[in-house]
Structure formats: structure tokens, C-alpha cells
Amino acid sequence: MPALLVEVGVEDLPAREAAEIAQSFKENMLSALKEARLPYREVHLFWTLRRFSLLVEDLAEQQEETIEEIRGPAVSVGLDPQGNLTPAAHGFLRRYGASAEDLVRRVVGEKEYLFLRLKRPGRPTEEILKELIPQAVRLIPCSKYMRWNGGMPFLRPIRWVVALFGEKVVPLELAGVSAGRRSFGHRFLGHPLTFSRPEEYVAKLKEAHVIVDPKERAETLRRAIRAVEEEYQAKAALSEDLWAMILGQTEWPNPVVGRIPQEFLALPEPVVVAALREEGKFVPFTRGGRIAEIFLGFAEGKGNPEIIRQGYERVVGIRLGDAMDFFAQDRRRMLESRVPELKGIVYEARLGTVWDRVQRIRTICGVLARELSLPSELLDRAALLGKADLLTVMVREFPELEGVMGGIYARLDGERAEVAEAIAEHVRPRGKGEELPETPLGIALSLADKLDGVIGPICVGELPTGSHDPYGVRRRGTAAIRIILEKGLRLDLFRVIEEVRREYPGAEPAETVKEFLWNRLRAALEERGISYDIAEAVLSQMDGDFLGVWERAQALQTLVGRKDLVDLATAFSRVRNITRGHAIEGFDPDLFQEEAERKLWQAYLEAKKRVEEAMAEHCPAKALEALLSLKAPIDRYFDDVLVMCEDPKLRENRLGFLLALSRLFLQVADLSRLVVPG
């Protein structure tokens, strides 16, 4: 079967978005191929800043044939007593151009119907691709859209399109550009090139000085970075953002090592790193916790290495000179003196100024200090100074240094080391892969910062949707949960939210915030490998102890596959089903009549004690083992006891007992939500 090659050539994509654009195109194409019933063997995704492309191996030349069944009249209407077709059946066949041989009989519910069984031949792949490929490009989400020559909107103008199915060009048009077999190599080193068939794609582009495979390009960059690390005994200070920039803006990277002038090495390491990263193509290095004297740049293509190095060093020297001036300007004032000026910075129209935000964070910190047994005075001091560096020149120039510079300036101002460290850590984690704060005060201040960023927007009606989250509420909520789970914070988050809700404007109740964070916890559990049904089991009852939920999920996950858990889940499902819809409090053991009732009651009392002790010790695994002992008594109970008996007093007492038993289980998990075999 032939291969398919689709390449969309564009004006330079933003380096940070190039990979996302390409990935979205791949997902759109594969989804469309699946929907079109076009099987294939393997898919390869390629991209650079000037193109994104897909190579699909062994793509079927025609859609798979489908068999469609259409329900017609009931047999009693479509056939007479002798089994002959009635006018109703003939009319049904005429409507679809079918014959009596295409009819089959099927029972639906309690009636038998005539069904028409029709074979639908597949369309040729080439014909489908003409529609499918342009649609896959149109569906790519972009941060901004451009429109040129009256064509389709896209992030950047589309300049060429390659669409080959085997050796044939797929006749399609994209944004006014007709597809062909002609592409372009490197902007400076390459040349136009023509593909005869898809399999030539990667090799021909490499001849034209384009490494189109992002994995190969990434390995080329990593080899260069490792070589510098080994030669200079230093460690690359490579953030995810900088890596995305370097990978996204090179087609034929050429490594060049430069040196940092000695006078700039006295600057704080984060300042030098930020200044180099800002250019988007310089990798800084550290050695022994201090900035190293070298950096690595990547020239695009070939050139005189010495001239390129001198140019890079000139750019770096200018930027670091600016940074040194910014640092000197900032040190003319104490960090604390900037705090009152936060009243002049609007955070959000409905939520007030940054000063107002700081006061809310201080309130949350007060609650967290009590809940986590932390020194409230030091935590409050860190919260007061935490946002002051927003008014420094350095942070205005390098926003990524928010918090970091506050910590540096606080330490130079003579603040306590714990306070300075908390300020430096409180913005972490900014992204999914960033490290968490390490110190107790930094952890608490970071959590308070994230919670304020969740509670505030939600209270004024900015609950995130799938495509709308301008305040980053989802990201902050995920970060807050990550801090709680990974740092082992034992606190009632819901109680914290209820206590601080009065500090926020807006009409949304605390319950809306709780529900949002509860849903983020569900996502966090599944991201950490907890199966869907176990997540549902431990999340059946809302509980502000998120760490406890995580521990219960882990404990339950370790029992997956055990027969006694399956049997217990089945037994508990009987308890949940028969008590559903009832709200009876209490029961009287003296009203038990059957031996099985008394046996289950005794087992319940013993298990209840063990469960409560285990939960108090935060050991859900022991609690689950205690519940496993109830399986046999529950089975016997349902074998010997008629719960829904005619005597209303007896029936109510039995339901009350089963509800108490159910509540005992629900302290750990709703086992009825587990997916069990059979």
C-alpha cells in the first residue's frame, strides 16, 4: 500500500508553538483517517519553524466496506400470513433501491422487524484526502490568526503545500496554495527540492540542510550540550521553556561556545541565567552552585565560528550589562519600602489591587500556619514581602524572576533566611514539570498564593471552561493539589476555603471552589496512575483531606486483582443498592431476630473499631483489611434475612443498620463503584 506525505510550509512559526501546531495537525489527521475508515500501519510527525508534516505508511487505497442495517416495518406488517412481502415491505425496499434478498429479520424488544442489510463500498482514498487534509489544517487551534489574500485564517501565512499519495499528487488547495511535490530546504543553505514519493522526504530535506525530525534535531542539540558539560565540567541550566525555544527555532543547528566577561559573574546566578535565556538561543551553565564562565549558542546553519562567537558574546555582554544596572538600581531601596506601592497596581478590576491580593494571601497564610503548625509571624512576613519585587526593575525586565529576586533582595536586606527562602519559592511551580518549594514556609506561602489564584477568580464568576481560562485557574488548582499530595500536607482544605471565603468579593459560594478543586483532584489521581473506578470509589464522598484521599486510593490500588476485594465489592454493592434512597439514622440491636443479623452486628462492631483506629493513624490499608473481614457475614445476612419485610418497624431497623454499615465503608471508599469481573 502507498504512503501519504503531507507537508505544510509556512512563514516562521513562534518557537514555543511550533510543536503544538504540528501535534494538533497529527491528531486531527489521525482522527479524520479513523472516521473515514482508512487504516494505516505507522505515522511519523515532522516539524521545524517553517513546516509541519506527516508521513503515513501503508495507507489503504480505499475505504473499508461497511455493512449498514436499516430497520423497516415490523414482520407483522411487512409479511402476510403466507410469508410474502406486503406493499409496506415493497415500499421500504424501493426507498433504498434494494431487493428482497437484502432483508433479514431481527427481534428488537418484544417485536420482530424486517431489517435491510446494505453493503456500502468505500470511496477511493485520494478522493477523501482532498477533503480531509484541508479540514485537518483548519481545525488547528492557534493563539492568534492571520488572514492573507482573502484565504483561510491561520497562525502564519501558508507558502507551499506538498501532498503525495504514493507517487501521485493529491489535487487539493490550502489557503489559495495548490498542493504539489515541491518543497524548500534551509533558508540560507538549502535549495528548492522535489519529491517523487513520500519515502524520500527526510533524506532529501537533510541534503538541503534541514533536520526535519524533531527527535533527531533534539538529539543533535543534546549531544552539543553534553559535550560542553563534559569539557568544562559544568551543568546546563536548561529550562523547559528555553529547550522549546531552541528546538523550535533551528533547522540545522550549529553549536558555538562563548564566554561571559568576569565582571558579570558576580551577578546572582538566576539573573545571568534569565538574561541568557531571554535571547532564546543561549544555554547558560552552572558549576558548584554558581554561574559558569561559558554559554552555548546555536547558530542557524554554517558560518565563520569566530565571527559568530564574537557576535554572541557582544549580545550577551550588552544584556548582562543592562542586568547589572538593573540590580544596582534595585539595591538603592529596601524591599519593604516597595510594599505600599502595590496599592497602585491593579490585579483584577473586581479583585482589587496587588495590595488587596497580598492581604488575602496573608489571611490564608494565617489559617495555614495554624493548620500546619508553622511560625505565623515569619510566614506573615514572607507573605507581606512576597509580591514587592513586582515593582523592581529586574522583575519588570525579566518577569520569570518574580519571587526569585524578592528572595535575593530580602536576604541582602537582612531578613531572616526562612523568610527570604519562602519568598523565593512561593511562585513555584509555575508549570507542570517545575520543582516544588522545599522549605516549610515556602510550601505554605506557595499554597496560599495558588489558592488565592483559584478562589478569587471563581468567586467573581471566572470558573474555567474547556477553552476559556484567562486567569490560569486550572493551572493554579493543579499546582495547589500537587503541593498537598507531593509534600504530604495534612489539612482540611475545604475548611480553609470556608474560613477565607469572606475575604473575597463576588457571589459564587465556597462550594463552587470546592467542587472545582475536587474535580482537579480526580484528574490528579488519574495522572498518577489511579484507575478510573478506584478514583470514583475514593471520591464518592467529598472530603477536604486531599492527602487522605490520595492515600486511600493508593491503598485500594494495591488490592486490585485480589479475589477477596472483588467479593467484598460485590457484597457491599448489595448493601448500597438496598439502602439507596433511604435516610434512616440509628437502629436498635435488640430488634434483631435472625442469627445472621446478630453475627453481622458483632462483626460490624469489631471492624468499626479497627477502621476508626486505622483512619486516625492515617493507615487506610489497615482499614481496608478490617473491611475485608465483613464479606462473609454480609453474604450470610442477605441469604438469611429479608430486609424489606412487611413489618415496618423491623424493616426500618434493618435499613438503619445497613446504612450504618454503609457509612463505615464510605469512610474508606465506595466499593460498589469498583469494576469487578462478571
The 10s digit of each residue's pLDDT in 461-518 is 999 887 788 899 999 999 999 999 999 999 999 999 999 999 999 999 999 999 999 9
Lowest-pLDDT choice from 77-86, 142-151, 325-334, 566-575 = 142-151
Q: How confident is the model at residue 285 (pLDDT cuts 50, 70, 90)?
A: very high
CA gap 420, 415 in Å, rounded? 6
Pick the CATH number of 550-673 from 3.40.50.1010, 1.10.730.10, 3.40.50.620, 3.40.50.1260: 1.10.730.10
Helix (H, G, I), strand (E, B) or coil at 675: coil
Report how far apart, in Å, the C-alpha atoms of 496 and of each of 338, 366, 443, 617 are: 29, 10, 16, 22
Here the cell at position 30 is 489521525
**pLDDT, averaged across the chain:** 92
CA gap 323, 6 in Å, rounded? 45
Dihedral class, residue 404 (left if φ above 0, else alpha if ψ from -120 to 50, else beta)? alpha
Mean per-residue pLDDT, 396-413: 95
Minimal CA–CA distance to 597: which of 567, 559, 553, 633?
Answer: 633
Minimal CA–CA distance to 337: which of 416, 407, 391?
Answer: 391
Determine whether 34 is exposed, middle or buried from the number of CB atoms within 10 Å of its CB (0-12, 13-18, 19+): exposed
Percent of the chain surpassing pLDDT 70: 99
Mean per-residue pLDDT, 656-666: 93
Q: How confident is the model at residue 619 (pLDDT cuts 50, 70, 90)?
A: very high
Instruction: Give buried/exposed letters for 130-153 (b at 16+ CB in 10 A, else e).
Output: eebbbebbeebebeeeeeeeeebe
Mean per-residue pLDDT, 604-613: 95
Taking the C-alpha atoms of 304, 309, 314 and 315 in order, what is their torsion angle to the nearest 10 degrees? 100
Question: Is the pLDDT at 546 greater than 60, yes or no?
Answer: yes
Q: How confident is the model at residue 78 (pLDDT cuts 50, 70, 90)?
A: confident
Minimal CA–CA distance to 198: which of 158, 237, 167?
Answer: 167
CA gap 479, 433 in Å, rounded? 10
Q: For 302-357, how does the pLDDT look when each residue is reduced to its tens digit (9 = 90+)?
A: 778 899 999 999 999 999 999 999 999 999 999 999 999 999 999 999 999 999 99
Helix (H, G, I), strand (E, B) or coil at 347: strand
Residue in this structure with the C-alpha cell 483517517, named with its chain if needed = 33
Strand runs labelled E in 477-616 = none
CA gap 474, 354 in Å, rounded? 20
CA gap 521, 68 in Å, rounded? 43
Q: How confident is the model at residue 111 (pLDDT cuts 50, 70, 90)?
A: confident
Lowest-pLDDT choice from 89-98, 363-372, 648-657 = 89-98
Lowest-pLDDT choice from 9-18, 64-73, 239-248, 262-271 = 64-73
Question: Is the pLDDT at 571 greater than 80, yes or no?
Answer: yes
Percentage helix, strand, coil for the chain under 3-state DSSP, each rounded to 5: 55, 15, 30
Q: Which ranges of 266-403 does DSSP label H, i.e. alpha helix?
A: 269-278, 305-330, 354-372, 376-385, 393-397
Taking the C-alpha atoms of 602, 606, 612 and 615 in order, what is their torsion angle to the nearest 10 degrees? -130
Per-residue confidence (pLDDT) for residue 280, from 0 to 100: 64
Residue in this structure with the C-alpha cell 493508593, named with its chain if needed = 554
257, containing H or E segment? strand 253-259
In whole angstroms, what separates CA 289 from the centre of its chain? 32
Query: Does residue 678 or residue 538 have the better pLDDT?
Result: 538
Q: How confident is the model at residue 678 (pLDDT cuts 50, 70, 90)?
A: low
CA gap 477, 80 in Å, rounded? 67
Q: How many CA atoms lie within 13 A of 290 on its CB side?
A: 9
Per-residue confidence (pLDDT) for residue 411, from 0 to 100: 97
**CATH, range 349-528:** 1.10.3210
Per-residue confidence (pLDDT) for residue 304, from 0 to 100: 85
| Cβ atoms of residues 292 and 232 within 8 Å | yes
Per-residue confidence (pLDDT) for residue 150, from 0 to 100: 66
Q: For 383-402, how does the pLDDT look when each residue is reduced to its tens digit (9 = 90+)?
A: 999 999 999 999 999 999 99
Per-residue confidence (pLDDT) for residue 105, from 0 to 100: 87
Domain coordinates of the chain in residue numbers? 4-62+124-207, 69-120, 217-331, 349-528, 550-673
